Structure 1
């Protein structure tokens, strides 16, 4: 029996995870010798929520994934490790919903022109983001296509 593909597993897990308020960010299958690992990265489905993925969310996701997958069909019935995780606090922001989930946070961005910017995310729409550079007390508007990379810049108080 061939190993399942990530896209097939994503299709199979999308609805059960949605029912517990989560969505799939990524699925990774790792086989190294006799070791097999299925990693499912989940995030909160509600784009307006800035709450992090909690341990309760991970527990609900684990139950949903275990109920949705037939262990005998994964890896031809051979034992494997299931890891349910979140994207983490400093993940790369690559989709508008990632920015929406980061509203109010300080971001470290690089524009396609090579400019580095650290600014607070004040707003997000379908076209781009509104930022406030607190150090220079300046407002910036960047369209998504102007952003080469962005991530949350952790603040320690």
Structure 2
């Protein structure tokens, strides 16, 4: 049977996810070794704890179960997860939630770097978002300084894993870590592809779909 499409799953769960106070960041559907996996990626302004993700996972599972008549009977494994640090910052809410975190930034081709002599890509700590401009703290612990960059001049930005806390001056210039987000420099080791909060429902006692 054909797999469920990412677009269809997104339409089915978007209202439920929003009603629980989360943003739907994406849906991924894949098949490996005969197992269909449906991955629903969500985020929110507050830290998504395991209990909240588990409750949402149960509700998403029930929502997909109700589509059995439409989809057919393809067995699947549902995974509800928050974004890992490899998720690029592409929306204003991503930048707001990343305040205080270190990011690797690749400038848009042809855009001038915020300072002469910066490598490409370069690292900075995220500050406050002001309209279409993002404040960035350059220089790390040794010589932290604040610059402002137009979002349109950034081609790609990805949060970096940190195991040591930033300096007090870096955090002061950035405005501190966004409310409800984990502290900078306290990332736990985890799989390279993801370091968010994940709940996987057991396969297909919760539902089957096409």
Same fold (TM over 0.5): yes
Per the normalisation by structure 1, the TM-score is 0.83
Aligned to 2:152: 145
Distance 1:118 1:35 in 2: 39
Of structures 1 and 2, the one scoring higher in RCO (CA 8 A, sep 6+) is: 2
State the 1:98 CA deviation. 0.8
Aligned to 1:83: 79
Distance 1:139 1:34 in 2: 51
* 1:89 match: secondary structure: coil
Matched, 1:122 2:117: no
Where does the alignment leave 5 or more consecutive residues of structure 1 unmatched?
none
2:17–2:24: 8 Å Cα contact kept in structure 1?
yes
Per the normalisation by structure 2, the TM-score is 0.64
Count of residues paired in the alignment: 152
Distance 1:90 1:54, change over 3 A: farther
What aligned pairs does 1:27-38 form with structure 2 within 5 A after superposition?
27-32=27-32, 34-38=34-38
* 2:128 match: secondary structure: strand
Distance 2:71 2:37 in 1: 9
* 2:72 match: secondary structure: helix
Higher strand share: 1
State the 1:99 CA deviation. 0.8
